[in-house]
Structure 1
Amino acid sequence: MTINIQFVKMKTSESMSAYTTKKLQKIEKKYEWVVRIEVFFKKENDPTEKGHICEMEVSLPGPKIFATSNEKNFEMAVKETISDLEKQLKKRKQKFTNQNISS
């Protein structure tokens, strides 16, 4: 699995890259058919004290999976986005196993 992390219109953060990679490696262990994950970090001015946006696009067999979250900090945004991705990946895995059973 390839992980590509991009910081959009902001400074690159090695610690954020390492944190995100570590979290995504857990997905790689559970779902070995994931090909690539594109991660985008963005910062927006937000009056609700949020504005730390993390977007992830997962390439795998079939349609791509996408998740995004807007939180107070990037660590929370990464956790929330990965949680959302895992829900989608579980559904996709169930479809795979159901198709294999019926074949």
Structure 2
Amino acid sequence: MTINIQFVNLDHSDSLAEHTTERLKKMAEKYDWLINADVFFKEEGTNPEKGKICNIKLSLPGNHIFATSDEKNFEMAVKETISDLVIQLKKRKQTFMAH
């Protein structure tokens, strides 16, 4: 799986990119039919307790799946976004098994 990480109006963080890549690779081991992951990090200053946003779009056979989360730090946002994607992947895997 190819992983593209972009920081929107933020400085690039090697540690955050490495953390995200590691989490996505673990997910790709379980779901080997994933093709590509596009990750976007951005920050919104409207809410002081949140505002760290992680968007992930996965390319796979069929339609793309997408998840986003808004947390108090980027690591929590990555964790929440990936858990949302895993739920969607489990549903998608069931439809593959049905055919």
Instruction: State the TM-score, normalized to the length of structure 1.
Output: 0.94
Q: Which runs of 5+ in 1 are unaligned?
A: none
Q: Runs ≥4 in structure 1, deviation > 2 angstroms?
A: none
What CA deviation, in whole Å up to 9, does each residue of 1:64-100 have, x standing for no partner? 000000000000000000000000000000100111x
Matched, 1:12 2:12: yes
Work out the CA distance in 2 between the residues paired with 1:53 and 1:47: 12
Q: Secondary structure at the match of 1:9?
A: coil
Work out the CA distance in 1 between the residues paired with 2:3 and 2:94: 24
Work out the CA distance in 1 between the residues paired with 2:48 and 2:60: 35
Q: Give the aligned residue type for 2:43.
A: K
**Superposition pairs for residues 12-51 of structure 1, below 5 Å?**
12-51=12-51
**Superposition pairs for residues 47-58 of structure 1, below 5 Å?**
47-58=47-58
Q: Secondary structure at the match of 1:80?
A: helix
Bigger Rg, which one: 1
Structure 1 counterpart of 2:81? 81
The CA RMSD measured in Å over matched residues stands at: 0.7
**Superposition pairs for residues 82-97 of structure 1, below 5 Å?**
82-97=82-97
Provide the aligned length of Structure 1 versus Structure 2: 99
Q: Give the aligned residue type for 1:55.
A: N
